[in-house]
Amino acid sequence: MKSKSYRIKDIAEMAGVSIGTVDRVLHNRGDVSQESMEKVKKVLKEIDYKPNMFAIGLAAKKKYSFVCAIPYYIENDYWYTIATGIEKAAKELQPFNVNIDFVQYKHSDEASYRKVCEELREIKTDAILLAPIFEEITIELTRILDKKKTPYIFIDHNFLDTKALMYIGQNSYMSGYIAGKILMSDYEKDQEIVLFLNNNKDNPAEVQMQRRMEGFVNFLTEQCDKVTIHDVVFNKDKPEEDRISLDRFFQQHPKVKLGVVFNSRAHYIGSYLKESGNTLKSLVGYDLLKKNVELLKSGEIKYLIGQRPALQGYYGVKALCDYVVFKKEVDPIKYMPIDILMKENIDYYFELE
């Protein structure tokens, strides 16, 4: 039998409770005993009950407000792509009286992030989608949100010591492990590896990059013997100094043939290789930024690992709506696929249309 054939009266009879109790459970209105709640939920599960979402949205008098807190972005960068996913979900949810507002902070800037978190403590909203960075500040915020019973979902990065409704993003450790595996598939005896690290590598806000590095190093430790690894630290704000350092590095280390960049700035190294005439047999980077894709196609970057940022934003907002508006349970973790892109398959790739 299809779930749409069941009336509230039918569900109440099957559960042995009143019609009012079923109505309160379906619409999360409280004032229901634990025993009655379990009876109703058991019946709903047995009949695979699915409410008419569109009818709920049209009938609802309540307007819902969600706040999305992410870093400032520029066109075609990583956070811009996340924002496009959020906006796509927002358009789809307009019939259900859901409004989306943004608050933004400077990435890796502790003072900016703290200011936004202070704003989130006071703001009146039904739910929050947050891209968290600094752990201590985030924990302080979530404790207040927990007291206020404001649901929140994390995207891009996860802090386990919270009561986040859900985490949506990539398994950073495993993506680093896979980066090691695909890079070493091009390894030949006596070749050396270089890790291109940015000058903020030790910043608490760079947890994603740090976990990727951990996975990468663990793969090499487990699977490879006696591989020589070098570190090169670059600063995107000092390109002239970086170019001198990179020229010197390649002159001094002719055996370096493999490299990896653990964030979205692979184009920084790829552009240097293209302009300088130096080459790497294999360079692995992250994220499908326009500049990264161009260098993937021209061959300076061999592999890009994608994490579907638009889908992170899209799923984050949809999950908040499922929980807040439609009173549905959501899974605590939704890992994004670890996509491996090469010039041979990049033209066939799409994320969200």
Ranges of each domain in the chain: 3-50, 62-170+309-336, 172-306
Residues 13-37 as b or e (16 or more Cβ within 10 Å = b):
ebbebeeebbebbbeeeeebeeebe
pLDDT tens, 214-261?
A: 999 999 999 888 899 999 998 878 888 889 999 999 999 999 999 999
Q: Which regions in the chain score pLDDT beneath 50? A: 1-3, 58-59
Architecture of domain 172-306: 3-Layer(aba) Sandwich (3.40)
Q: What is the pLDDT, as a whole number, of residue 1?
A: 35
CATH code at 3-50: 1.10.260.40
The DSSP secondary structure of 316-338, one letter per residue, reads: HHHHHHHHHTS-----SEEEPP-
Domain 62-170+309-336: CATH architecture, name and number where available: 3-Layer(aba) Sandwich (3.40)
Asked if residue 231 lies in contact with residue 220, where contact means CB atoms within 8 angstroms, the answer is: no
Q: What is the pLDDT of residue 167?
A: 96
How many Cα atoms sit within 13 Å of 337 on the Cβ side? 9
3-state helix, strand, coil in the chain (%, to 5): 50, 20, 35
pLDDT of residue 3: 42
pTM of the predicted protein model = 0.80
Angstrom distance (rounded) from CA 292 to CA 297: 9
pLDDT of residue 205: 66
The per-residue pLDDT for 95 is 85
In whole angstroms, give the CA distance from residue 186 to residue 38.
56
Residue partners of 9: CB distance under 8 A and separation at least 6: 19
> Among 17, 129, 114, 160, which Cα is nearest to 65's?
129
Which amino acid, residue 285?
G
Query: And the tokens for 164?
Result: 């986040």
Find all residues with CB under 8 Å of 202, minimum gap 6, and list them: none
User: Is-contact 344 302, C-beta < 8 A?
Assistant: no
**Sign of the C-alpha dihedral computed for residues 165, 92, 117 and 156 taken in this order:** positive
What single DSSP character describes residue 94? G
Side by side, the strands of the sheet bearing 192-198 are 229-234, 192-198, 256-261, 282-286, 303-306, 339-341
Tell me whether the CATH fold assigned to 62-170+309-336 matches the one assigned to 172-306: yes
Q: Put residue 93 in one of left, alpha, beta given phi > 0 → left and psi -120 to 50 → alpha.
A: alpha
CA pair distance 139, 264, nearest whole angstrom? 26
